[in-house]
Chain A
Amino acid sequence: MTRVDSVLDLIGNTPVVDISVLSPNPDARIFIKLEGGNPGGSVKDRIAKAMIEKAERDGELWPGRRILEPSSGNTGIGLALIARLRGHPITIVMPDNTTNERRQLLEMYGADVVLTPGNEGSNGAVRKAQQLADEHPEWAFLYQYGNEANPQAHYDATGPELLRDVPEITHFVTGLGTSGTLLGVGTYLRDHKPDVKIYAVEPPAGEKVEGLRSLDDGFIPPVFVKWGGADLLDGKRIVRPRESVEWTRRLASDCGIFAGVSTGSAVAGAIKVAERLPAGEHATIAVISPDGGWKYISTGIYTGEIEAAAAIAETVNTW
């Protein structure tokens, strides 16, 4: 269907591309599900729509009521786009080390942006949003880290789409942010194809968060605990900025896919799975590409010396 009534009808049903040319193992095929084609440019459009519609159904959100959300970019952009169409004012709390493109997109859709210190990472944005929610009980705090509509959106749509398009899937690899994609798609796969192995990758974010006073200030998304994330996973790995940038560039040069840096991390995770397969075992690995590269061009990570690009990826919030 290419003619729709609203841009919101274009959320989801994203394409899957064979990127096995990158595989280090001839017995391992790799497929990537490209979420950058969603109207707001990322996988987060799915949860933005689900969280807003759930809040509207539950009577917690109505036209004119302000939405509040901490976001390093993508969730905020998806929410702002939908909020604009539905008549909700919106405030996004964002670390100040995100890219200028993300801030401009938010402002274009009419969001108020509250910045928090970049060296506090997303923890700082979450803390500030919780404080604003306490001060403004008249606002609707959707809170993607604790909102079950987040994993549910992926259970209801992203998971079924993936299994429909890659029915031979044996391994699923995804990035870990709020953990919504992992939980929703992972649980759907467990329920419908229990042998699929489920892996997560994450950036070494804790190294950047200098504002952390003690490890007791740590954060585990409440949805990760509620949905049994630890039991779902077969493995979890950190992917360092240099490796993420390298695989982001390989995707562009070898497959023509222009993706964000967190996609490079997910592909790096898939490559590791392919490398570690027991000899003779065949695998079909599927990874999620959360967004395209457009919002990160100003960082300069796509061209030039890899060392310089990796250093930039260390300091800019690209996840």
Chain B
Amino acid sequence: MAVSVRLPTVLRPHAAGKTVVEADAGSVGDIIAGLVARFPGMSGHLLNESGELQRFVNIYVDDDDIRYLDKAATAVADGAELTILPAVAGGA
């Protein structure tokens, strides 16, 4: 069993149109690095020039925002789901 990575619409063209791709368990940082290695087109979307996550990228592990967990060091176990979402304006 691996980790499921759910991609937002804007990243799918870089993964042959897939909504979900699989990755090995590890830290969020490892998984993102692995994604960028497999799908180089995602790099500029996900990471800034210093290799840190872009400001408008939100990452959730089993629906919890990693900014309030251990950030890039947050562990993602086999069977877990990692969701990448753009920050957008909320309704009101």
Contacts and interface: CB of A to CB of B under 8 A. Distances in A.
Interface string A179-223: 110000000000000000000001011110110111111111100
Contact of A239 (B58, B63, B83, B92): B63
Given A236-B65, A240-B63, A221 B89 contact: yes
Contact of A122 (B8, B11, B67, B90): B90
Contact of A238 (B63, B67, B68, B88): B63
Range for the number of chain A residues in contact with chain B: 35 or more
Interface string B1-38: 00000001111000000000000000000000000000
Range for the number of chain B residues in contact with chain A: 20 to 34
Given A204-B85, A206-B87, A207-B85, A218 B92 contact: no
A144 B56 contact: no
Interface of B: 8-11, 45-46, 54-58, 60, 63-65, 67-69, 83, 85-92
A177 interface: yes
Contacts of B11: 215
**8 closest Cβ pairs, A-B complex:** A218-B56, A177-B90, A319-B91, A206-B85, A72-B91, A122-B89, A236-B65, A218-B87
A289 interface: no
A178 interface: yes
Contacts of A74: 92
A50 interface: no
A215 B46 contact: yes
Interface of A: 44, 71-75, 95, 121-123, 125-126, 144-145, 175-180, 202, 204-207, 209-210, 212-221, 230, 233-240, 262, 317-319
A215 B56 contact: yes
B89 A145 contact: yes
Contacts of B67: 230, 236
A210 B19 CA distance: 13
A133 to B, nearest CB: 15
Contacts of A237: 60, 63-65
A165 to B, nearest CB: 24
B57 to A, nearest CB: 6
A216 B88 contact: no
A226 to B, nearest CB: 15
Contact of A123 (B8, B55, B57, B89): B89
